[in-house]
């Protein structure tokens, strides 16, 4: 069955430290891949997306993600975390050509001073 796994329910990092949020998917082919961020009480904001081509994609707010086909992974990274990055992060995939997006369970990021 198709699935998206975010193995970390929550992560705490110090401000200024680097961040990596993990995402693994289970699909037959390479789906469209996304990372969204949700601040408390807010909607979903797209950070970045991967469709094809360069496996390292750049997004907004200094985030990047790397697609690794061999590992079926699409991990999100940021070299230096800011306190304002504290939020819930969702990995998502779509293999229907745009008709259905499946979200992972999310990883809540806490940033400590």
Binding residues for other proteins (CB under 8 A): 32, 34, 36, 42-46, 49, 51-53, 90, 92, 96-106
Give the shortest CB-68-to-other proteins separation in angstroms. Answer: 19
Distances in Å between the Cα of 72 and the Cα atoms of 3, 4, 38, 67, 91 are: 11, 10, 24, 8, 13
Q: Which is nearer to other proteins, 62 or 103 (CB)?
A: 103
Give the shortest CB-80-to-other proteins separation in angstroms. Answer: 26
Q: Which is nearer to other proteins, 12 or 18 (CB)?
A: 12
Q: Which is nearer to other proteins, 29 or 113 (CB)?
A: 29
Give the shortest CB-16-to-other proteins separation in angstroms. Answer: 29
Give the shortest CB-17-to-other proteins separation in angstroms. Answer: 26
List CB contacts of 104: < 8 A, sequence separation 6 or more: 4, 5, 6, 23, 90, 91, 92
CA-CA-CA-CA torsion sign (32, 3, 65, 45):
positive
Dist. CA 100–CA 10, nearest whole Å: 26
């Amino acid at each position: 069955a198709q699935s998206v796994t975010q193995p970390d329910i929550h992560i705490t990092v110090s401000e200024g430290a680097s961040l990596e949020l993990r995402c693994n998917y289970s699909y037959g082919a390479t789906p469209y891949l996304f990372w969204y961020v949700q601040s408390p009480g807010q909607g979903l904001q797209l950070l970045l997306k991967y469709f094809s081509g360069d496996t390292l994609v750049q997004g907004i707010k200094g985030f990047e993600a790397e697609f690794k086909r061999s590992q079926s992974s699409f991990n999100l990274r940021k070299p230096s975390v800011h306190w304002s990055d504290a939020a819930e992060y969702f990995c998502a995939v779509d293999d229907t050509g745009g008709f259905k997006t499946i979200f992972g369970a999310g990883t809540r990021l806490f940033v400590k001073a």
